Amino acid sequence: MSSRLDEALAQTKPLGSRARRRWWLPALIVLAWLAFGVVAGGMPGKLSQVQHNDGISFLPAGAEATEVARLQEKFAGGKILPAVVIFSRTGGLTPADQAAIADRAAAVAKLPGLTGEVSPPLPSGDGKAAQLIAPVSGVDGFEAGRTVQRMRETLNTGLPAGLTVNVTGPGGFNADLGEVFAGIDGRLLVITAAIVVVILILVYRSPLLPIVVLISAGLALIAASAVIEPLAAHDVLTLNGQTQGILFILVFGASTDYALLLVARYREELLRQPGTAAAVAAAVRASFESIAASAGTVILGLLCMLFSELSSNKGLGPVAALGIAASFLASLTFLPAALALLGRAAFWPIRPSAPKKNGLWQRVSALVGRRFRPVWIVTALALAVLAAFAPTLKSNGVSQADVFLDRVDAVAGQDVLTEHFPGGLGDPAVVVTNAAAANAVTEAARTTEGIAAVRTAPAVVDGKAEIEATLSAPADSTAATETVQRLRSAVHAVPGADAKVGGQTATQLEVRDAAERDRGLIIPIVLVVILGVLALLLRSLLAPLLLIATVVLSFAATLGVGALVFNHVFDFPGSDPSVPLYAFVFLVALGIDYNIFLMTRVREESLRDGTRAGTLHALGVTGGVITSAGVVLAATFAALSVLPILFMAQIAFLVAFGVLLDTLIVRSLLVPALTVHIGRSVWWPGELRHGRS
């Protein structure tokens, strides 16, 4: 085997003195990238320190709950994430328990990271629980999470046997979310990298190429993180754990996709060109348009998220777009330079050869050519049947406790709190009103159905008064949402009050309503943008409309399958309102990728051989690489399911399944069969429609 490697290395020497003199250029590019990687290698790990996972960071900037949150900071002297501590014993609290609770409360009050006094322990009516509230500073969400973790350690020290303690409320949930997402830059990266390496080894049957591709993806992630971290640190971008997880997956998936396309073309050119340097140059020229169009389409589709009302969506768009841009840059600079240095040795121990004339994709191509009409009719009908289940997807939001797939401490504490106290005691609705109307607003709140108690804070700041309304139902329940809507109607009707209602329940209500508005606005914008890119790329209007229609049908079918799986297999309680929008943006933008890879090759071949022959040849030669790219992207998105968050698990399934559906059915059967059926007219109104059919 070593002799074969020596032979491959010997063949890497470029032919001609001019090529020999240029060996330094790819070497310089590789060294520059590697030096950058060494200097900035810690940037991805720093992203978790600039996350904002509290509910307010998701809200529209002008939402009523956002305004209340800002006003609350004035009353509290800064941003606060209240941590609700709940002690409980099944048989009832004992005198020893009471003494231990008082001792632990005093110890918590001395912890750094609090802003204000810890409330006295409040016993429950049934005598089985007691709760206190610790005001955790929320200026830095990362530090707030560490404060709560220290609090949990302190609370669990020296408790009598049988007395349990949990920390819930906004502070507890923020800490548990931070703990989950802290694994992104460790566990998720390792799993994703392992998936990519295994698949690439199976595709290339070479140990060297997967390493080069993995290094390229890692450098792209470092480059993206180096730009995103300072922007997030200075609040130019909103970054949360969900966005960071998606960023990592997108970068690895996109980098691998671009690498597969470039390497496949490089392998073809090695059989045509006189040397490896010429083959790399020819491969870059031949694949640049399709890779650039793919990256540009995804970037523009993601940037459409800037039209969202939700701050979290506005942050996702540019963050993910920067990741795609970094993947594109690394794939067309570092990767070609590394291939030029390695030459044919990159494929060791396999010698690059022409594809088999009777391989799998040649047989698929022949089937499409013979039976194009039944192929597209059957596949379209099958997708339509699956799409019929899409309206059954539950996407009206879930409770805060249902966000976690594991039973974290904040969820356990919320259950105990709800069992022994009024459901909304830990997360009251907050009303901020003009001080002169405080009494009238308090009375309006007290008489609102679903309000258990009302407390007016004594302090008045800038002519404003703060009123806390305890909800009878748990803060994240449907009943609580209805109560907040009634409360808003009641206090808004008080003359001269200028009353605004915020708090946890109001925040969730605002997020749900904004997400529904976003779907109606952003989906049409994404479709128009992608249609424009495809029209410019393919010099046609009919072909882009065809591709858009097939991808939308594929998206609807994916939602239908998702509804069946989520409702009847996993029995999920529902989904985040943003799940359909996220799935749409990723599936349409990424699904179009594979159609771009196919149709740019179809157009190239059609110029020479006609539309029918060009389509079938393009399907045969691109089938393997595009399918491999789809499998890699689906597998990397599936890795998101390692994070025990409902939103991540649902996005992982929808995107992974949708990408496979696009790759194996839409791009492999539906699109080429329709193209062959329509013939040269598919290029209307472009000049190519006048060529051979």
Q: What is the pLDDT of residues 155-165, one digit of tens each?
A: 998 889 999 99
What residues contact residue 53 under an 8 Å CB cut-off, 6+ apart?
141, 174, 177, 178, 181, 240, 241
Alpha helices (H) along 611-664: 611-638, 646-661
Residue 23 CA to residue 342 CA, distance in Å, equals 11
Which of the two residues, 392 and 74, has the higher pLDDT score?
A: 392
- The rounded Cα 211 to chain-centroid distance in angstroms is 25
pLDDT at residue 135 above 60? yes
- Nearest 5°: phi and psi at 466? -110, 135
Mean pLDDT of 600-626: 85
- In the block, which residue shows the tokens 């990424």? 590
Does residue 259 contact residue 213 with C-beta atoms inside 8 Å?
yes
What is the helix (H) or strand (E) element at residue 645, kind and residue range?
none
655: helix, strand or coil = helix
Cβ contact 304:529 at 8 Å: yes
When the pLDDT of each residue in the chain is averaged and rounded to a whole number, the result is: 84
Residue 339, pLDDT > 80, answer yes
The answer for residues whose C-beta is within 8 angstroms of residue 646's C-beta and 6 or more apart is 398, 402, 403, 404, 405, 572, 575, 576
- Is the per-residue pLDDT at 30 higher than 90? yes
> Mean pLDDT, to the nearest integer, of 185-198?
79
Rounded Cα distance, 387 and 393, in Å: 11
pLDDT digits (tens, 9 = 90+) for 413-427: 888 888 888 766 667
The residues, ordered by sequence, that sit 6+ positions from 229 with a Cβ below 8 Å of its Cβ are 43, 46, 47, 50
Residue 527 pLDDT exceeds 80: yes
Asked if residue 254 lies in contact with residue 295, where contact means CB atoms within 8 angstroms, the answer is yes
pLDDT single digits (tens) 172-183: 888 888 887 776
Q: Are 324 and 295 a contacting pair, CB within 8 Å?
A: yes
Tell how far CA 126 is from the center of its chain: 44
Does 14 score more than 60 pLDDT?
no
Q: Is residue 79 scored above 70 in pLDDT?
A: yes
pLDDT band at residue 6 under the 50/70/90 scheme: very low
Average pLDDT over residues 654-674: 91
Strand 429-434 with 164-168, pairing: unpaired
> Do 408 and 176 meet the contact criterion of CB atoms below 8 Å apart?
yes
Collapsing DSSP to helix, strand or coil, 358 comes out as: coil
Q: Give phi and psi for 85, each to the nearest 5.
A: -100, 125
Q: Say if residue 188's pLDDT is above 90.
A: no
Residues of 56-95 as b/e, b for ≥16 C-beta within 10 angstroms? bbbbbeebbbbebbebbeebbeebbbbbbbbbbbeeebee
> How many other CB atoms are found less than 10 A from the CB of residue 436?
12
Please give the DSSP secondary-structure letter assigned to residue 688. Answer: G
Q: What is the pTM of this model?
A: 0.82
Q: Which helix (H) or strand (E) holds 314?
A: helix 311-331
Per-range mean pLDDT, top range of 2-6, 235-239, 465-469: 465-469
Q: If DSSP codes are grouped into helix, strand and coil, which group holds residue 122?
A: strand
For the ranges 114-118, 324-328, 525-529, the lowest mean pLDDT is seen at 114-118
- Give which of 438, 440, 439 is closest to 461, Cα–Cα: 438
CB of 528 closer than 8 Å to CB of 466: no
- DSSP secondary-structure letter at 472? S
Angle in degrees, 0-180, between the axes of helices 241-270 and 189-204, rounded to the nearest 10: 20
pLDDT of residue 21: 47
CA-CA distance, 324 to 253, in Å (whole number)? 9
d(CA 654, CA 184) in angstroms, rounded, equals: 20
What pLDDT was estimated at residue 171? 87
pLDDT band at 5 (very low <50, low <70, confident <90, very high): very low
Query: What's the whole-number mean pLDDT along residues 194-204?
Result: 83
Least confident of 74-83, 137-146, 644-653: 74-83
At 253 the pLDDT is 86
Q: What is the average pLDDT across 647-652?
A: 89
Rounded distance between C-alpha atoms, residue 228 and residue 323, angstroms: 9
Please name which of 303, 264, 315, 341 lies closest in space to residue 58, comparing C-alpha atoms.
Answer: 315
Is the model more confident about 565 or about 639? 565
pLDDT exceeds 80 at position 432: yes
38: exposed, middle or buried (C-beta count within 10 Å: 0-12, 13-18, 19+)?
Answer: exposed
Name the token pair of 385: 């049947």
- The reported pLDDT for the residue numbered 207 is 85
The reported pLDDT for the residue numbered 11 is 46
Give the pLDDT of residue 690: 63
User: Would you mind telling me the total number of residues written for the chain in this entry?
Assistant: 693
Q: Which residues pair with 579 in a beta bridge?
A: none
3-state secondary structure at position 64? helix
Q: Tell me what pLDDT residue 193 has.
A: 83
Domains by residue range for the chain, with CATH: 1-50+183-354 (1.20.1640.10), 79-180 (3.30.70.1320)
In this prediction, residue 471 carries a pLDDT of: 83
Q: Please give the order of strands across the beta sheet that includes 129-137.
A: 122-123, 129-137, 80-88, 164-168
Q: Residue 10 has what pLDDT?
A: 44
Choose the weakest-confidence range: 71-80, 114-123, 134-143.
Answer: 71-80
- How many of the other CB atoms lie within 10 Å of CB of 354? 8
Higher pLDDT, 265 or 374: 374
132-141, 421-430, 636-645, 657-666, range with greatest mean pLDDT = 657-666
Tens of pLDDT, residue by residue over 445-459, are 999 998 888 887 767
According to the model, what pLDDT value does residue 423 have?
62
- Number of CB atoms found within 10 A of residue 155's CB: 21
Residue 465 has pLDDT above 70, yes or no: yes
DSSP 401-446: GGGBSS--HHHHHHHHHHHHS-TTSSS-EEEEEEGGGHHHHHHHHH
- The answer, yes or no, to whether residue 16 has pLDDT greater than 50, is no
